[in-house]
């Protein structure tokens, strides 16, 4: 399996690949990684339903801006960055939103998340993007340290107006 970025940091060989959702092994890895993230306390706290498991890959394949990176140790998927391309109206340039970033608990603290973020940033530069965006739970301190360590910060356009907040409205 080809890898886009690889590292032996911490003595753990890890490879990052941009997922090809026409490949069965990538499809299986995406579902497994999103399901593992969904079960995490910082995810949804429960497994994906069978309906979501069945609809995930077709939905991602049909979404025109889907961009997914998988982290592997050998042939074992150990992390994912599920992203979507967007557009900044203030910069008139594309951006990438990292919708889900997750590393299996047994592989956290080994630089895997950092490698995934670097793969996303590398792709963003290739696409001429002006920025990366993401959301993080305020109490997810390990993730916040990782993001801040690679240059993410709360968005603020004019200091007097404060930082941007991410809101959601379930439908």
Query: In this structure, what CATH number is given to the domain that contains residue 77?
Result: 3.40.630.30
- Nearest-10 Cα torsion for 52, 24, 110, 148: -50
Which residues, 6+ apart, have CB-to-CB distance to 10 below 8 Å? 110, 111
Asked whether residue 115 is domain-assigned, the answer is yes
Read off the pTM.
Answer: 0.91
Residue bearing tokens 């706290």: 45
Distances (CA, A) of 161 to 38, 67, 73, 101, 165: 34, 32, 44, 29, 11
Domain hosting 152: range is 5-161
At 13, is the pLDDT very low, low, confident or very high (cuts 50, 70, 90)?
Answer: confident
Asked whether residue 171 is domain-assigned, the answer is no
Dist CA 70 CA 171 (whole Å):
30
User: What letter does residue 48 receive in the DSSP assignment?
Assistant: P
Q: Is the pLDDT of residue 120 over 90?
A: yes
Asked whether residue 11 is domain-assigned, the answer is yes
Asked whether residue 81 is domain-assigned, the answer is yes
Q: What is the mean pLDDT of residues 138-144?
A: 95
Asked whether residue 15 is domain-assigned, the answer is yes
Asked whether residue 62 is domain-assigned, the answer is yes
Give the count of domains, the chain: 1
Give the pLDDT confidence of 78-98 residue by residue, as tens digits. 999 999 999 999 999 999 999
Residue bearing tokens 């032996």: 8
Asked whether residue 166 is domain-assigned, the answer is no
Asked whether residue 144 is domain-assigned, the answer is yes
């Amino acid at each position: 399996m080809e890898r886009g970025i690889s590292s032996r940091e911490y003595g753990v060989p890890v490879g990052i690949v941009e997922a090809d959702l026409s490949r069965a092994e990538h499809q299986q890895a995406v579902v497994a990684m999103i399901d593992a993230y969904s079960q995490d306390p910082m995810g949804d706290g429960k497994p994906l339903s069978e309906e979501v498991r069945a609809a995930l890959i077709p939905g991602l394949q049909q979404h025109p801006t889907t961009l997914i990176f998988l982290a592997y140790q050998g042939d074992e998927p150990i992390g994912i960055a599920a992203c979507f391309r967007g557009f900044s109206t203030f910069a008139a340039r594309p951006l990438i939103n990292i919708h889900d970033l997750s590393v299996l608990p047994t592989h956290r603290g080994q630089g895997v998340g950092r490698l995934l973020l670097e793969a996303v940033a590398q792709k963003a530069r290739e696409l001429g993007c002006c920025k990366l965006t993401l959301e993080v739970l305020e109490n997810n301190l390990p993730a916040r340290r990782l993001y801040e360590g690679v240059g993410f910060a709360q968005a603020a356009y004019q200091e007097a107006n404060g930082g941007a907040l991410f809101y959601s409205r379930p439908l």
